[in-house]
C-alpha cells in the first residue's frame, strides 16, 4: 500500500507536467511559427519478486512477478512539423515552406534561430526581428528603398528611384536534430550538443525549403487535439488521486484492526 502511494504520486506529478505543457501550447495557439511542445514519459525501474521464466511447481508454465514503481518524465521536446501559412500585408513578413530557420544575432554576439519571419527595417537599413535582433542571413536593403521583393529562392531585390537592384540572397540554417534545440523564448532557439552544428544554405537548395513573401507561418498547435489531451490528462490525474485515497483507506483499515 505504501508502494501504491508512491506510484500514484509519480503519476500525479507526470500528469501535472503534461497539463502545464498543454496549457503552454494552448496559450501560444496564435503565436507566429510556434512549435508545440510534446511531453514524453517512461516507466520506472521494476522490482523483481519472482524471476520471469521460473516454472511453477505443478506445471511447466513460466511465471514471474515484477512490480513497477511508477512513471517519470523523459523529456519535453518541440514538434517542428510545418504549420499553415497565413497571408500578410507587410513585405518583410516571410514564411519558410519546408526545412530551415532564420539565423539571428543576439545582443551578446551569439547566434539564435527562429521560424518566425515577422521582420522589420531598422534605421540603418538592416532587417531585424521585433525585439531588434539583426537577422544574420538577410542582406541589408538600405533605408531609401521604396519596394522590397523576395523570390522563393531567397533572392532579395529593392527598388530605389525606379531602379531595381539585386542586393543579395537570404541564407537559412538547419540542424541534424531540430528537436535538440533549446528554446529561450521570443520565438528563438539556440544550438546544443543534442541539436548538432548548424548547416547554412540558401532557400530551394541542398534540402532547404522555399521562402514566401507576404506570408507568416502559423502555430502548429491544433486546439481540438490539445483540448482532448487536456481532458485525458485531467482524468488520469483524478485516477491517480483516487489510487492514493484508496491506499490511504486500506492503511487505515489495517491500523484499526483489533
The pLDDT of residue 52 is 72
d(CA 173, CA 206): 11
d(C-alpha 118, C-alpha 90), whole Å? 9
Strand, coil or helix: 92: coil
- Quote the pLDDT of residue 38: 95
Distances (CA, A) of 88 to 55, 83, 116, 215: 70, 15, 13, 5
The model carries a pTM of 0.86
Q: Which three cell numbers stand for residue 88?
A: 500578410
pLDDT for 194 equals 92
Averaged pLDDT for residues 238-258: 87
Which residues have CB under 8 Å from 186's CB, separation 6+? 129, 131
pLDDT band at 183; cut points 50, 70, 90: very high
Q: Which residues contact 13 (CB under 8 A, 6 or more apart)?
A: none
92-117 mean pLDDT: 95
Percent of the chain with pLDDT over 70: 95
| Bridge partners, residue 157, by sequence | 149, 166
Interval 30-47 mean pLDDT: 93
- pLDDT score of 51 more than 90: no
CA-based angle 85:88:90, to the nearest 5? 135
- Per-residue pLDDT reduced to its tens digit, 188-235: 999 999 999 999 999 999 889 999 999 999 999 999 999 999 999 999
Average predicted confidence (pLDDT) for the chain: 91
Task: Quote the pLDDT of residue 59.
Answer: 57
Q: How far is CA 18 from CA 34, 39, 55, 83, 232, in A?
A: 18, 6, 41, 22, 10
- Residues 8 and 248 sit within 8 Å (Cβ to Cβ): no
Interval 55-93: pLDDT, tens? 656 555 556 788 888 999 999 999 999 999 999 999 999
Quickly state the pLDDT bin for 13 (edges 50, 70, 90). Answer: very high
What per-residue confidence (pLDDT) applies to 54?
Answer: 59
**pLDDT over 90 (residue 46):** no
Residue 171 pLDDT more than 70?
A: yes
Q: Judge whether residue 126 has pLDDT over 70.
A: yes
Percent of the chain clearing pLDDT 90 (strictly above): 74
Q: What is the pLDDT, as a whole number, of residue 57? A: 61
Amino acid at each position: 500500500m505504501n508502494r501504491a502511494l508512491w506510484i500514484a504520486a509519480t503519476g500525479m506529478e507526470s500528469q501535472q507536467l503534461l497539463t502545464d505543457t498543454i496549457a503552454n501550447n494552448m496559450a501560444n495557439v496564435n503565436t507566429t511559427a510556434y512549435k508545440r511542445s510534446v511531453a514524453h514519459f517512461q516507466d520506472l525501474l521494476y522490482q523483481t519478486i519472482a524471476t520471469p521464466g521460473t516454472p511453477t511447481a505443478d506445471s511447466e508454465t513460466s511465471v514471474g512477478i515484477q512490480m513497477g514503481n511508477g512513471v517519470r518524465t523523459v523529456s519535453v521536446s518541440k514538434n517542428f512539423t510545418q504549420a499553415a501559412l497565413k497571408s500578410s500585408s507587410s513585405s518583410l513578413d516571410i514564411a519558410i515552406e519546408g526545412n530551415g530557420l532564420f539565423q539571428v544575432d543576439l545582443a551578446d554576439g551569439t547566434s539564435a534561430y527562429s521560424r518566425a519571419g515577422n521582420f522589420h527595417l531598422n534605421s540603418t537599413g538592416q532587417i531585424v526581428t521585433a525585439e531588434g535582433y539583426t537577422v544574420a542571413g538577410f542582406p541589408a536593403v538600405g533605408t531609401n528603398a521604396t519596394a522590397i521583393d523576395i523570390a522563393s529562392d531567397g533572392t532579395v531585390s529593392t527598388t530605389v528611384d525606379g531602379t531595381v537592384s539585386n542586393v543579395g540572397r537570404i541564407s537559412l540554417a538547419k540542424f541534424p536534430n531540430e528537436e535538440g534545440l533549446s528554446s529561450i523564448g521570443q520565438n528563438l532557439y539556440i544550438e546544443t550538443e543534442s541539436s548538432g552544428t548548424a548547416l547554412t544554405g540558401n532557400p530551394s537548395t541542398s534540402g532547404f525549403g522555399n521562402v514566401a513573401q507576404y506570408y507568416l507561418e502559423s502555430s502548429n498547435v491544433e486546439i481540438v487535439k490539445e483540448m482532448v489531451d487536456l481532458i485525458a490528462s485531467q482524468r488520469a490525474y483524478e485516477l491517480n488521486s483516487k489510487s492514493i485515497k484508496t491506499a490511504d483507506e486500506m492503511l487505515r483499515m489495517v491500523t484499526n484492526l483489533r
